[in-house]
Amino acid sequence: MGTVDPVGGDPSRDTTADRAYRLGVLLGDGIGPEIVPAAVRVVDAALAASGAAPVDWQELPVGAAAIDEHGSALPPATLEALAGLDGWLLGPHDSAAYPEPHRSRLNPSGALRKHFDLYANVRPARGFGTGRAIAPDTDLVMVRENTEGFYADRNTFAGTGEYMPTPDVAVCMGIFTRPAVERTARIAFELAMRRRQRLTIVHKANVLQLSSGLFKKVCLEVARDYPDVAVDDFHIDAMTVHLLRRAADFDVLVAENMFGDILSDMTGELAGSLGIAPSINASDDRCMAQAAHGSAPDIAGRGLANPIAMILSSGMLLDWLGTRHGDERLRDAAARVESGVRAAVLAGVSTRDLGGSASTDGFTDAVVGRIAAA
């Protein structure tokens, strides 16, 4: 996944080849304390193999453990520390299990995206050719606008855009603004230029003529700056059918927040499993690696979790950093992360969701071994 990350600053800003990066480690809940350390191990192996400087890892509290110790799922000290780092890995959270009032507040992932304006959620879906995949030849990327749209918890400066004027009436605001749509569309088009030069706009402008209509309109306006990219568009309901029937025909998809969230879960499953679905959440100068799946509390602590999504997400973070700082060693390390994962799976090593029998640690050992041997 190291070649799909389009969000980054001017690569000429920092060309120090031996720069030591400082990355945060937020374990999260459920299987997070298993899959995040797995990603750290793989990143360290890939950096060593590429000759890059080792990462200075900083573990920070988040989630249920942070509530117990600090009285907050996302302590102010964690936010302050993250602001001084180059990026971070975020494990999944189980906010539905938090005690009140924490359960009703914006979850750690949403709070981080909002606090740091991580406006682009980039979610690749690429199959491994395994028999468990519904569409093993899937190779696409969803670019999701990450700060507004139909998710009301990201649409206001304070509080949320969801409220009840009476006990029997619930109101939810969906916000669409030209600047937010335009910056996300540019990320999607830049990505399409580096892939197969095809982009699909997903919307519901036939019914939501003003809100979703603005999303479609702005994306088409941005398209004029990318004449080499072939552009089409589909309504969200039709898009689900097209993905089920012909996922391999699509390259880059761009959608508003909720549509992109739903479709990227679907494309991850089409490619094989949500356990292999990575993502980054990024602005122009910050990046958070986060697997697209949840915390899976039912298998937590049993060594059954698939770490692929978290590992590939960490590789995307390396590529984002390498692009931003002009660091080819870091980009090489990112490529090694993905090649190590793919080599392990193609050699028959996988966790049970992909039809294998490897444990979380066993699969991680296999990836680290293949990176070291490459």
**Which of 5, 86, 204, 353 is the catalytic position?**
204
**For this structure, is 261 an active site residue?**
yes
In the chain the first and final C-alpha atoms are separated, in Å, by: 18
**For this structure, is 204 an active site residue?**
yes
**Which of 86, 94, 139, 265 is the catalytic position?**
265
- pLDDT score of 6: 56
Q: Which superfamily does 134-271 belong to? A: Isopropylmalate Dehydrogenase (3.40.718.10)
Question: Which residues lie across from 139 on neighbouring strands?
Answer: 126
3-state secondary structure of 135: coil
What distance in Å separates the CA atoms of residue 241 and residue 183, rounded to the nearest whole number? 28
**Which of 139, 261, 319, 327 is the catalytic position?**
261
- pLDDT score of 152: 73
Topology match between the domains 1-117+277-374 and 134-271: yes
- Per-residue pLDDT of 269-305, as tens digits, reads 999 888 899 999 999 999 999 999 999 999 999 999 9
**For this structure, is 232 an active site residue?**
no
- Per-residue pLDDT of 35-89, as tens digits, reads 999 999 999 999 999 999 999 999 999 999 999 999 999 999 999 999 999 999 9
- Per-residue pLDDT of 88-131, as tens digits, reads 999 999 999 999 999 988 899 989 998 999 999 999 999 887 66
Interior angle at CA 130, CA 127 and CA 135, nearest 5? 50
What distance in Å separates the CA atoms of residue 374 and residue 157, rounded to the nearest whole number? 49
**For this structure, is 265 an active site residue?**
yes
**For this structure, is 237 an active site residue?**
yes
Each domain of the chain, given as residue ranges in start order, spans 1-117+277-374, 134-271
Spell out the SS3 assignment of 205-226. Answer: CCCCCCHHHHHHHHHHHHHCCC
What lies within 8 Å, CB to CB, of 34 at 6+ separation is 300, 301, 303, 305, 307, 360
**Which of 21, 98, 119, 151 is the catalytic position?**
151
- Per-residue pLDDT of 205-215, as tens digits, reads 999 999 999 99
pTM for the structure as a whole: 0.90
Average pLDDT, the chain: 92
For residue 318, is pLDDT > 70? yes
- pLDDT score of 133: 83
- pLDDT score of 13: 46
For residue 14, is pLDDT > 60? no
Q: Which superfamily does 1-117+277-374 belong to? A: Isopropylmalate Dehydrogenase (3.40.718.10)
Helices (H), the chain: 32-50, 64-70, 76-82, 108-115, 178-194, 211-223, 236-246, 257-271, 308-325, 328-346, 360-373
